[in-house]
Amino acid sequence: MILEFLLIPLIVTFLAPLMRPKLSTVVSAISFLIPFFYVIYGLAENIVVKQHVISLVKPIGEFYILGDQISFSFALAICLVSAMVALYSLPYMAHRFDEMGREFESEYRKYIFFYDLYATSMLWLVFSGNFIMLYIFLEISLLASFLLIYMYGYGDRRKVATLYFIWTHIAGMLALIGFLLVASNNGSLAFNSIAKIGFTAWLLIFLGMIVKLPGLGPHVWLPWAHAEAPTPVSALLSPLTVGLGAYVILRAYLISPWFIKKYMMPIFIYGVISSVYAGFMVFRQNDYKRLLAFSTISQMGYCLIAFCLGTYGIMAVIIQYISHAFGKAILFMTAGGIIANYHGLRDITKMGGMHEYVPTISNAALIGFMNLGGILTVGMFGEFFILKGLVDTFGFDISTILAVVFVFIISGLYSFYTFKRIYCGKPAGYEKVKVNRLLDTPLFVIGVISILFIFPPLANILLNAVKTGVIKAAILTIGGVAP
């Protein structure tokens, strides 16, 4: 059953380039919305599916599709954001091709192919039941996103794309050696037949994913790549792709959690420092997209913190991924909306009172920043679970609580400080424009859904499913530390 739903976007990937731009956009969006509804159904019914794909030679093992609550939760964000950004691409890329002086229709065919390939590979990644299968989709998503930046990016796009490629390729390859070590110790890489992940393997997987995530230090590639990518690609890169690093660590954690448990304190401190550092960097940025890129690093610090906090922490990682995906997708699209309407305007110092000129985009941005700050959106649960996990893990330890609350406060502060800088204050004196419907409606769809997730029935569905999924995995591997 699940295979058919996953095949829809894959088939559309190859059919879309044959259609006219408008049709291909709509078809692509629908091809991601169909799995989206299936995913909600899967979460509501708490189903777990396993479907065999192919068996490989000895140390690699079986490739199968694994649909459990964790996969479904990640897929929820991927499907919705991919569908909405696909709609958004049509007017935005029209503007971009125009700016680059290229012919619209033929370029759009190429664009939609790589876009669909990129989004589909991420969707398949979270349903992979084998580390090598997972790695393959990780690399396909890297390839597609690299080509999109290479062909349509801003600035020195070739250099930036190569920088991005090299860093994330190293990240993937490091993890690959880790996977192969696991393979030679366990004789298989299928999730259900790995007994233990040894120290070196864990270290390599963790380091690789820290580059991808990214933590402080190996984050140098991210502001470049995310800022210079064409905006619809940024709106997938930043919300979806980087978080997949957390997904890989999560899968390894659910199989063999000892590494993170043993090195809990250093990882926790590293997460806090990453988050705080990137949060302060946000205040210094004057480029809208670069600012959002730094905010991504800060938000991914949350995931690192949450990993250390036991079962509730793991739930927080999942919710944080979803809320960050929703929020950051909206925000990148608002940045793109301003770029498309004001001829590449990205410099925040030249903005001010933009609410006057693009009220719809401004309202969407508010919802986006609310998502980042964890206010009245699904992000709220993420922060709640982090705090709950924190108290469970460390007891009522005032220093750790202060550290985490400080991290939350910085996120809230930079969110609304940025909102104030861009959308409020003295109007900067632009013409009011009529915004293309596809440049703002998708933002509101994501925004409304992110708010709907704090109310029943969606909130119940999501939280129950995440809880069941994590606890089930916890009982299977950790051995009964469930709450």
Partner 1 sequence: MMVLLLSALVSLILIVFGAVCSLKDLRLSLAASILALIIVLVSSITTQLFPYVLLVVAIGILTVFSMSIRENQISGVDYSLVALIALITAYIAYTNDISFILAAFVIASVPTYALVFVSTDGAKPHVDVALKYIVFMVLATVLFIIGTLFLAYSNSSGNTMLYTLGFVMLILGLGMEVGCAPMHEWVPDVFSAADPLPLSVVASITKIVPFVAAYKIILLTALPQLSKLTIFVAFIAVISMFTGNIGALTAKETGRILAYSTVANMGYVIATLAIVTSKNYLYLAFAGALLQLIVNAFGKASFFASIKTNGCSRPLMYLLALSFIGLPPLMGFWSKFFILTSLVGAGLIWLAFLLIVNSAISIPYYLRIARNLAGETFPGKVTAIALISSVAMLITVLPPNWFVSLAKAFFGGV
Contact residues toward partner 1 (CB under 8 A) are 54-57, 59-60, 63, 132, 135-136, 139-140, 142-143, 147, 150, 158, 162, 165-166, 169-170, 173-174, 176-177, 180-181, 183-184, 200
- Using CA atoms, how far apart are residues 228 and 68, in angstroms rounded to an integer? 35
* CA distances for 324 relative to 57, 67, 191, angstroms: 38, 22, 27
Instruction: Kindly state the helix (H) or strand (E) to which residue 470 belongs, with its residue range.
Output: helix 458-473
CB of 170 to partner 1, least distance (A): 5
Q: CB-wise, 135 or 332, nearer to partner 1? A: 135
46: left (phi over 0), alpha (psi -120 to 50) or beta: left
Amino acid type, 219: H
Contacts of residue 136, Cβ cutoff 8 Å, sequence gap at least 6: none
- Token pair of 283 as six digits: 């205040």
- Of the pair 143, 401, the CB lying nearest partner 1 is at 143
CB closer to partner 1 out of 183 and 463: 183
**Start-end of H helices in 127-257:** 131-152, 157-186, 199-212, 221-228, 231-236, 242-255
Residue with smaller CB distance to partner 1, 55 or 460: 55
Minimum distance from residue 28 beta carbon to partner 1 (Å): 20
- Nearest distance in Å: CB 140, partner 1: 6
Contact, 214 vs 221, CB < 8 A? Answer: yes
Which CB, 59 or 427, lies closer to partner 1? 59
231's CB contacts (< 8 A; 6+ apart) are 92, 289, 332, 333, 335, 336, 339, 340
Nearer to partner 1, 131 or 253 (CB): 131
CA angle 214, 170, 72 (to 5 degrees): 55
Measured from the CB atom, is 167 or 312 closer to partner 1? 167
Q: How far is CA 323 from CA 24, 78, 318, 444, 459, in A?
A: 28, 11, 9, 15, 13
> In whole angstroms, how close is the CB of 125 to partner 1 at the nearest point?
12
Element holding 273 (H helix, E strand): helix 264-284
Beta carbon nearer to partner 1, 127 or 294: 127
In this structure, are residues 324 and 298 in contact, taking their beta carbons and an 8 Å threshold? no
> Mind spelling out the 3-state secondary structure of 76-124?
HHHHHHHHHHHHHHHHHHHHHHHHHCCCHHHHHHHHHHHHHHHHHHHHH
In the bound complex, what is the minimum distance in angstroms from residue 110's beta carbon to partner 1?
Answer: 9
CB of 193 to partner 1, least distance (A): 17
Contact 120, 35 (CB under 8 A): no
Question: Shortest CA distance to 33 belongs to which of 8, 4, 3, 1?
Answer: 8
CB-nearer residue toward partner 1: 136 or 458? 136
For the CB of residue 252, give the shortest distance to partner 1 in the complex, in Å. Answer: 17
Smallest distance from the beta carbon of 189 to partner 1, in angstroms? 10
Least CB distance to partner 1 at residue 328 (A): 26
Backbone angles phi, psi at 353, to 5 degrees: 60, 35
What's the rounded Cα separation, in Å, for the pair 309 and 385?
9
Beta bridge partners of 67: 49
Closer residue to partner 1 in complex, CB, 181/465: 181
Closest distance of CB 219 from partner 1, Å: 18
Min CB(336)–partner 1 separation in Å = 26
Shortest distance in whole angstroms from residue 376 CB to partner 1:
41
Which is closer to partner 1, CB of 130 or CB of 296?
130
Q: Which two tokens stand for residue 112?
A: 């939609």
Q: Judged by CB, which is closer to partner 1: 177, or 428? A: 177
